[in-house]
Every structure is written in structure tokens, then in C-alpha cells.
Amino acid sequence: MKRLQDKVAVITGAGSGIGKETALLFLEQGAKVVLADINKESLEETFEIIKQKKLDADACISVTDVSLENDIEKMINIAVDRFDGLNILFNNAGIGGAVGPITHIDADEWDKSFQILLKSVFLGCKYAARVMIKNNVGGSIINTASIAGMGGGSGPLAYSAAKAGIINFCINAAIELGPNKIRVNAISPGTIDTPLLATAIEDSKLDQPIKDFGMPIDIANTALFLASDESRFITGINICVDGGIELDRSGLMKDAAEHYAKMGIERVVGMNMGSTGIESVITDLQEDD
């Protein structure tokens, strides 16, 4: 029997990168999957791959802005209406978010970063848990955090703070939802070769034990374990999937700075929208600002 046979999953950020790879893997392992993303074009491209693999009978798409409560509720309802339930939620959607010095980050961009990175996790858990509790089936909620949320020097300030919030959210949600047999866990990727990472870092110069970028499948395999019954006794933890970079994170933000320097931007400020299809605005912070 396949590891997710007849389970129903919702995956956000499923149009590209980690979400795309996880959706394909879950489908191959017998799950019925709702693929959600704000980027309609990338979502449809992923669905074409699913059709080619003849897995489309067990999949559907939802164009979803994860920062909007109505969109999240609609996304969860699609799983219930189409597949008659929900067993797994993978809150994976994200952006690079607001970048720049504390003294120059735009407050609205800070808020938008938290809406997409952290509020979306709360909203996804809110509506997924309602279904899981009502149906009395338990379930697995998986949230993409980051090594950036585990300490200093591994990401922009807003991104790092939001990801730290996800890790703590998982701990407390696991305590609350455990009696309903709902497990809540986090995955903290390191340097994974995704479209989002490509917007910040070009070349791997990182000094880490496994001297390579991770691949989306590395995170997808971890999500598969957490989604399956193999992890039935695991909740409230953060699994670091990073090639060992968490052991010595020096150099990550230096590489990001070098990436922007090649673009002629010495001191960055703005908003990195990642692979959402929405234009990022990254500019050079002028010395006289």
C-alpha cells in the first residue's frame, strides 16, 4: 500500500519549488491533493505535469492568496467538497519579504511579510483543524519554517522573525490540538535550490558539512514522513533539513549581499515577493536617506 493511500492533502505554494515537488510526491504516494498558489500560471504548469503523469483524477487547483482568510477558508472547503475530508495540510507558501536595515524597512511591507509568512500558517491551521476535529479523524499539519528562524545571520529581519514565529506556533498548536490526534510540526529548510532562493543567492559558497544546495525533493521527502502514519507519535518538533548549515551558518547573508552587489545594489531595501508572480521591488538604499 502507498504511504498516503486515500488521504486528502492541501499544499500551499504548490506552483513551484518545494510545494510543487511535494504535491507530485504525495500524489504518487496515493494522496488526493488540492494544490494552492497565488501564481495561477505556475499552478497550471504544475497541473499539466500531473496530467502527464495521469494523476489528475486525484488533484485539483485553488488560486489562493494565503494572506486572506476568505481564500484560506475556500481552499480548505475545496478539499472537503471535492475529496470528502482532510487529513494533511502543508502550509508551505512564502516570500522573501521585506528587506533592508531596521531604520528603513517599510512598515506596510513588514506587515505584508507577516501576513504571508506567519498569518497564513495560523489561518491554514484554523480551518484545517476545524475539519479534522469535526470529522474526528485526526491529521497532520506541516508548516515550512526556516533555519532563518532559529538564530541570527541566516535571513532578512522580517523573514527571520516570521519563521521563528512559525516554530513557536507549532509547539503551542501541537499542545492544543494533540488531544484531537492532530499533529503539528515544522520543517526548517536550509539552502534549497528553489525559485525563492534564486532571488537572493546565485552561487553556493557556503561552508557546510554537505557542500551542496538541497533540492525540493529533500523537503518533500521530509513532509511525506510527517504526513504519513510513520510519524504518528511525533508532534511539536522542528526538523532541520539543511545539509548541516545550522551547525555553522556563517556566510549565508554575505552571499545574498554579493548577489545584489552584482546587480549594482550595494545596500538593499524593498520587498522580495519570491515566486508569487508579483513583481519584487529591491532598490539601492541611498546614503542620504
Residues that are catalytic: 159
For residues 254 and 7, what is the distance between their CA atoms, to the nearest angstrom?
A: 42
Which residue in 77, 80, 67, 58 sits closest to 37, CA to CA? Answer: 67
User: What burial class does residue 81 get, using C-beta atoms within 10 Å of its C-beta: 0-12 exposed, 13-18 middle, 19+ buried?
Assistant: exposed
| Structural contact between residues 97 and 116, judged by C-beta atoms closer than 8 angstroms | yes
Q: What are the CB-based long-range contacts (under 8 Å, 24+) for 99-104? A: 99/156, 99/158, 99/268, 99/269, 99/270, 99/271, 99/272, 99/282, 100/156, 100/267, 100/268, 100/269, 100/270, 100/285, 101/267, 101/269, 101/285, 102/157, 104/269, 104/285, 104/289
For residues 145 and 142, what is the distance between their CA atoms, to the nearest angstrom?
A: 9
For residues 273 and 278, what is the distance between their CA atoms, to the nearest angstrom?
A: 6
For residues 6 and 245, what is the distance between their CA atoms, to the nearest angstrom?
A: 36
Q: Which three cell numbers stand for residue 43?
A: 499552478
Q: What is the b/e burial string over 110-132, where b = at least 16 CB atoms within 10 angstroms of the residue's CB?
A: bebbbbbbbbbbbbbbebbbebb
Which residue in 94, 75, 76 sits closest to 144, CA to CA? Answer: 94
Q: Which helix (H) or strand (E) is 26 found in, with range? A: helix 17-28
